[in-house]
Amino acid sequence: MFTLNCKGKIVVFDEPVVMGIINLTPDSFYSGSRHSTIEDVLSQAGRMLQDGAKILDLGGQSTNPGSVRISVEEELNRVIPPLQAMMARFPDALISIDTYNSEVARNAIDCGASIINDVSFGELDPNMLDVAASLHVPYIGMHMKGSPENMQKNPKYDNVVSEVIDYLAQKAEMCKQKGIIDLIIDPGFGFGKQLNHNYELLYNLKALKILEKPLLCGVSRKSMVQKVLNTDADHSLNGTTVLHTIALLNGASILRAHDVKEAVEAVKLVNAYKNAAPNQSGIKN
């Protein structure tokens, strides 16, 4: 389905994969994803790997609506010790560093991370794309309208699907020119989008395949689930699984999820469904 060159190690993914979320922030919107000690992080990482996560996404900078940027030093203090412990315990794990700061990205890659996951696609740090290119690691770039501080203050689009595609296409070309080989794109559900924008993007997800890049979808327990079901993050797992299923049917390559086991099960069931299509006449009840 797609390959990634992770610091010289070629990793082949022949089906959609799950990226497990490990937050090192005290204010993540879902309390179940917050981890404050290294032992807690190691325990969660082990569970996620056992449940089938192919990538672990480690982040120390909150990107909740209204969140403010912490210092580089504080972000490094949050992510580097747990990252080093994870690499010591799970040396073969693929770890992405969730940051929009190039200095944090560089330090994390030096300490064993293999992928950069940048919600700002280089907009919040002008050095990020050059640093990503120089490190020769896969780069995840996301569409976000504005910044975490202001992105949900009445975002507007004439056509959200075409505007997101145009933005990602321009950024993909910029990455190509800078020498970023392995680019993964993320339409940015919940980042500078109202509820209807999120569902328009999900419905038209297949349109993003025109970019010919692996597609990451991050819908796990987000407000687009909570608002429709009139619930909160703690009770959004079932809704998340439904949206994961839709995303997979519409071409998602990576599911970024809090609940790895359930996301992996969604991948397995959608694969079984898709694999049955060419042999419908031979299916026995």
Catalytic residue among 34, 47, 222, 268: 222
106 catalytic, yes or no?
Answer: no
Dihedral angle computed from the Cα positions of residues 159, 165, 168 and 170, in that order, rounded to the nearest 10 degrees: -90
In 66-156, beta strands by DSSP E? 95-98, 115-118, 139-142
Q: Which of 55, 56, 61 is nearest to 73 (CA)?
A: 61
Parallel/antiparallel/unpaired status of strands 9-13 and 2-6: antiparallel
Q: Which of 234, 27, 252, 21 is nearest to 148 (CA)?
A: 27
- Cα–Cα dist 132/231, whole Å: 38
In this structure, the number of other CB atoms found within 10 A of the CB of residue 218 comes to 24
222 catalytic, yes or no?
Answer: yes
Catalytic residue among 256, 268, 274, 284: 256
Question: Taking a C-beta distance cutoff of 8 angstroms, is the pair 245, 282 a contact?
Answer: no
Tokens of 169: 């296409």
Question: Taking a C-beta distance cutoff of 8 angstroms, is the pair 201, 192 a contact?
Answer: no
Catalytic residues: 222, 256
